[in-house]
Structure 1
Amino acid sequence: MVQTIIGVFDSFEDAQRAQTRLESEGVARTDMEIHRSTTGDISATSGEPTARSVTSEVAEDGRHDGPISGIEHFFKRLFGSEDEPEEIGHYHEAVRRGGALLSVEVNDEASVERVRDALYAAGAVDIDSRVAQWRSSGYTGYDSNSPAYTADEIAAERKAFPVVQETLEVGKREVHTGGVRVYSRVTETPVSESVNLREERATIERRAVDRPATAADLKEGSVEIRETQEQPVVAKTARVVEEVVVGKEASTRTETVKDTVRGTEVDVERTEGADPAVNPVKKPPL
């Protein structure tokens, strides 16, 4: 069973780009049509005619029915002349406001979701959200007698007010906060130590005696007495009594960064006309 999927785009150029994208994803160009409210030939950006792209059509009596007529004939082919769903009027309104429709025919159920996702990925707008915007500015339904938007009206309606929101991004960087430099040098410190020294000296003592001499006393002889003394001997021994170990240790801390971010908000305000009997329709912001 052949099903027709319709995507709404803000411009004919957007619809053309979507058509090219779907073709690159395997959708035959002969299964696609682009509809807009401008009469004349439609050409793709490559310069080649867009397959089955229509704008206005000629009625059965040979008359040109107007810029929206071709789209009306397209929906009549789909739904007949009496059973069009209510939302079809929203598609007409989208085209009246300068948009374009891209219809894609699929032959199997499995391709429906794939094509629908491809249309949204290519920039198709949400028709329900767009209708809600129109209603906030006075839109009550499609009127086939209303003229198509002029270029100035389309530009005014599509005027964009950017909504900006800053985000806070906190990163990390390593900075030099100081350090430790360790020196090793030789020092000299005066010290003193007490030591007891011993010395030996020869002594001569003469004492008076009175006794008879013997043969032993008449012998020659000699005696040598050595004198000694102790002197201090200094020796130094170096010992390691302490070590200074140089290294680094890492730690982590949590710091809360506080700042302000800027953003913009867009407010929509409805204004009344000067004459109570005339309430002009305000074009919805995008």
Structure 2
Amino acid sequence: MTQTLVAVFDSYLQAQNAKSRLESEGVAPSDINVYARDADTGTSGGTAADLDTSAVGATPGAPHRHDHEGVVGRIEHFFKRIFGDDDQPEETGHYQEAVRRGGALLSVDVADELSADKIRSTLEAAGAVDIDSRVAAWRNAGYAGYDRNAPPYTDEEVAAERKAFPVVEESLEVGKREVNTGGVRVYSRVRETPVSESVDLREEHATVERRAVDRPATASDLKEGAVEIRETAEQAVVAKTARVVEEVVVGKESSHRTETIDDTVRGTEVEVERVEGQRTGTRTDETGNKTV
């Protein structure tokens, strides 16, 4: 059973891009229709400022009324073809209101539900508007329902309504980096220290002593001979030995600590406030007098 999917885009160019995506995925061009003011002028995604303003009383940047009425008529015919002349759901007016506010309507005829799911995903990826959220925003600004006789939006009105207020949230990201916090440098030098040690030294010296003697000489006294006495002396001998008495070991050890970072992050909040306008209409009371 054939079903029709409808999507709203903020501009004719976005709708055309979505149409091209669908065609590249195998959807027949005859099954896709785009309804927008720009489509009436034969432009390819231009703005309302691209329309002919040569008519008497035309204002640059303001779309022609007959251009708007042309696309409105085609959209009404499209919904009548789907729902008939009576009992059209309120949502059909929301789609027409989106076109009145400068948007574009795209419809796709789909043969089965499997293809419908794929086409929905493609339309969302192409930037299709959430019509329920958009209508809720309109209602906050005073929208009460689609009025066929309401004039189309000008370029300035479209730009003012779609002015974006970004909602920003900062996030805190804490990382770590290694820094040089100092260290130690170890030097090894040779030092000389004066020392003093005492040692006892022994010396031997030859002595010659002459004594007066008066005795008879013997044969042994008349013999020749020689005696040699050697003198000795001790001298200090110095020897050095080196011993390792201490070691200085140089290395690194690691430790861990937890540091809590306290900071603030910024964000923006967008608040929508309803602003009342002036009443310009007139009504007639029970006495027949007109009041504002």
- TM-score bucket of the superposed structures, by smaller chain: 0.7 to 0.9
The change in CA–CA distance for 1:112 and 1:241 in structure 2 (over 3 A counts) is farther
Judge which range, 163-172 or 17-26, deviates more.
Answer: 163-172
Under a length normalisation based on structure 2, what TM-score does the superposition of the two structures give? 0.75
Does residue 1:3 correspond to 2:7, yes or no? no
User: Which aligned pairs between 1:113-128 and structure 2 lie closer than 5 A?
Assistant: 113-128=117-132
Tell me how far apart the structure 1 counterparts of residues 41 and 278 of structure 2 sit (CA, whole Å). Answer: 43
Tell me how far apart the structure 1 counterparts of residues 190 and 19 of structure 2 sit (CA, whole Å). Answer: 87
User: Which aligned pairs between 1:1-286 and structure 2 lie closer than 5 A?
Assistant: 1-37=1-37, 40-44=40-44, 66-205=70-209, 213-273=217-277
Aligned length: 261
Under a length normalisation based on structure 1, what TM-score does the superposition of the two structures give? 0.76
Amino acid at match of 1:135: R
Amino acid at match of 1:27: V
Q: Deviations over 1:206-261 (max 9, x none)?
A: 55666654333332222212111111112223444444444444544443334333
Tell me the secondary structure at the aligned position of residue 18 of structure 1. Answer: helix
Cα drift, residue 128 of structure 1? 1.2
Tell me how far apart the structure 2 counterparts of residues 192 and 151 of structure 1 sit (CA, whole Å). Answer: 108
Q: Tell whether the 8 Å contact from 1:37 to 1:148 is kept in structure 2 after alignment.
A: no
Cα drift, residue 37 of structure 1? 4.4
Q: Tell whether the 8 Å contact from 1:197 to 1:232 is kept in structure 2 after alignment.
A: yes
The change in CA–CA distance for 1:130 and 1:65 in structure 2 (over 3 A counts) is closer
Percent identity, please: 70
The change in CA–CA distance for 1:39 and 1:17 in structure 2 (over 3 A counts) is closer
Tell me the secondary structure at the aligned position of residue 71 of structure 2. Answer: coil
Tell me the secondary structure at the aligned position of residue 106 of structure 2. Answer: strand
The change in CA–CA distance for 1:251 and 1:114 in structure 2 (over 3 A counts) is farther
Cα drift, residue 136 of structure 1? 1.4
The change in CA–CA distance for 1:65 and 1:134 in structure 2 (over 3 A counts) is closer
Q: Tell whether the 8 Å contact from 2:9 to 2:103 is kept in structure 1 after alignment.
A: yes
Amino acid at match of 1:86: E
More helix by share: 2
Structure 2, unpaired ranges of 5+: 46-67, 283-292
Tell me how far apart the structure 1 counterparts of residues 141 and 126 of structure 2 sit (CA, whole Å). Answer: 27
Q: Tell whether the 8 Å contact from 2:204 to 2:233 is kept in structure 1 after alignment.
A: yes
Q: Tell whether the 8 Å contact from 1:36 to 1:71 is kept in structure 2 after alignment.
A: no
Cα drift, residue 35 of structure 1? 1.3
Amino acid at match of 1:29: P
Tell me the secondary structure at the aligned position of residue 67 of structure 1. Answer: helix
Tell me how far apart the structure 1 counterparts of residues 115 and 39 of structure 2 sit (CA, whole Å). Answer: 32
